[in-house]
Amino acid sequence: MTAAIRAEWTKLRTVAAPLWLLLGAIVLTIALGAAAAASLHCTGAACGVDRTRFSLAGVQLGQAVVAVLGVLVVGNEYSSGMIHTTLMAIPRRSVALGAKALVLTGPVVVAGLVAVAGSLIAGDRLVSLAWTTGSTLRAAAGSVLYLALIALMSLGIATAVRDSGAAIGLVLGLVYLFPILASVVSNPHWHKKVEQIGPATAGLAVQATTDLKDLPIGPWPGLGVLALWATGALALGLATLRFRDA
C-alpha cells in the first residue's frame, strides 16, 4: 500500500494541474465567501443572520474546483490509457483506488484548511464573527471535511462513469440541483426530505452556527449523509474497477 501511495503521490505532484486547481479552489472560495459577507451590509449581531455561514458560502464555488480535481485524478488515466499501466503495477483494484483516495484527500484537506481559514478571516474583517464559540469551529472543521468528501465522491463517480465529462456533470448535478429542487418543493415534509438526502443540502448543514433547530438535518448527521454519498460512490467505483476491464 505504501508503494501504491507513493506512486499515486508522484503522479499527482508531477503534473501542474492539481496544484493550480487547489490554488484556484482556495482563491475562489475566499473570494465568493468575502463577497457574500460583504453583501450583508452590516456587522456583528445586528445582521440577524448566520454570519459564519455567509463567510463560508464560497465553499459552494470551491467545491466545483475540488470536484474537478477528484474527477481528474482517475478520469485523466482513463482518457490517456494510463489506467492500464496503473492496474498492471497495482493489480489489486482496492489498493489502487484506496491509494488514489488517500493521495487526493491529503492535498484537498490542506487546501480546504487554507480556504476556510482565509474565508473566516475575511468574514471576520467584514462582519466580525464570533470566533470563540464551538459552533464556529464546527463550521470550519466541517467545511474542510465537506470539501474532502466532495473530492472523494467525485473520485468514486469518475471511476464508475469513466468518462470525465459525464462524471463532472453528474457530480455538479448532484451538488447543485438538490437545493434548487428543494426550493420549489412546497410541502414542508417533502421539502425537508429533499434537503436531508442531497449531498450538498445535507452536507453544508455543518456550516450553520445559529438556528440549529430550523436545519433540515443536524450539522454532523448532515455531513454523515455526504459521507454516505462518498462511500457509495467509491464502492460503485471499486465495483466497476473489479468487474469490468479497464
Please report, as ranges, the residues that interact with another protein according to CB under 8 A: 35-36, 39-41, 49-50, 53-54, 57, 60-61, 64-65, 67-68, 71-72, 75, 79, 163-169, 172-173, 176-177, 179-188, 190-191, 193-194, 201, 208, 211, 214
Q: How far is the CB of 3 from another protein (least distance, A)?
A: 28
Q: Which is nearer to another protein, 92 or 191 (CB)?
A: 191
Nearer to another protein, 5 or 163 (CB): 163
Radius of gyration of the chain (CA): 19
Indicate the residue among 80 and 94 with the shorter CB distance to another protein.
80
Q: Which is nearer to another protein, 216 or 232 (CB)?
A: 216
Q: How far is the CB of 150 from another protein (least distance, A)?
A: 12
Q: Which is nearer to another protein, 15 or 89 (CB)?
A: 15
Beta carbon nearer to another protein, 2 or 189: 189
Q: How far is the CB of 49 from another protein (least distance, A)?
A: 7
Residue 186 Cβ vs another protein, minimum distance, rounded to whole Å: 5
We find the least distance from the C-beta atom of residue 130 to another protein, in angstroms, to be: 16
Least gap, CB of 70 to another protein (angstroms): 10
- Read off the DSSP letter of residue 210: S
Assigned C-alpha cell, 168: 463532472
CB atoms within 10 A of CB 186: 7
Of 61 and 103, CB closest to another protein:
61
CB of 245 closer than 8 Å to CB of 234: no
The least CB distance from residue 206 to another protein, in Å, is: 13
